Chains A and B, each alone.
Chain A
Amino acid sequence: MSSGRGASHKRRLEMLYVLAWLLGVPLTLIVLLFLLGIGR
């Protein structure tokens, strides 16, 4: 297990993955529904 700057960078990257999933899935669906003509 590495430590220091590399570990912190890895941790930030993993947090980014979590955020990408949690925001990406609902936002994709909302944009998709909007493009299909719902909510206009």
Chain B
Amino acid sequence: MAEHENWRPWPIWSAVWVGALAALAVGLIIGLIGYAVGAHQMSGPRVTTWKNVRLITTIFNVGGAFFAFVVGGWVAARIAGFRRAEPAMLHGGVVWLITVPMLMLFAALGAAGSFGGWYGGLTGSPAWVAQVPAAGGDVAAAVRNTALATVTALLLGLVGSVLGGWMASGEPMSWTYYRQRTLGDVERPRRVA
């Protein structure tokens, strides 16, 4: 049990790794469910404009990116046993940090598509793949839209992992609680009515 008083500011790596693996597993499951119910586009016109994206695709991509990392952050903070919000949220953030290069590795290996369509911007061309010159005028728009979707998914994952850690700490998730948390019962301002 990591208490607030003797906690040193360094991540508990075993908890972080398990959280990252949990995030990847849940992201994979939600992404594959998305494919199974037909939310993601396997073929047809590539998504070069946002108009082509259907609502169910948006829901699955947003929900997958968010809830996968909520689970990751929650698992990490629960394993580390934090009772305070701050170290728990920090560990959620670290889970996200080490998941990003793992996702980039999956993207380089061609496996990031299973997580849903929005991580496409992580895919560069691996060095061992021969470069195919891209043709067509809307390639730039496609690259821009893919990058935008990837940024959205990644930032949503960061928000989710931090929220998951906060949730796992067991402290109330309201702003006003933290203004009075450190005060003792004596100095806590007393409500008149």
Chain A contacts to B: CB under 8 angstroms: 13-14, 17-18, 20-22, 25-26, 29-30, 33-34, 36-40
Task: State the interface size on chain B (CB cutoff 8 A).
Answer: 23
CA distance A33 to B63 in the complex (A): 13
Interface contacts (Cβ under 8 Å), in number, total 54
Interface of chain A: mostly helix, strand, loop or mixed: helix
Q: Are A39 and B63 in contact (CB under 8 A)?
A: no
Chain B contacts to A: CB under 8 angstroms: 50-51, 53-55, 57-59, 62-63, 66-67, 70, 152, 156, 159-160, 163, 166-167, 172-174
Q: 10 closest Cβ contacts across the A-B interface?
A: A39-B55, A17-B173, A38-B50, A39-B58, A26-B66, A14-B172, A26-B62, A17-B174, A38-B53, A30-B62
CA distance A30 to B58 in the complex (A): 7
Q: Are B55 and A22 in contact (CB under 8 A)?
A: no
Given A38-B50, A39-B53, A39-B57, also A25-B66 (CB < 8 A):
yes
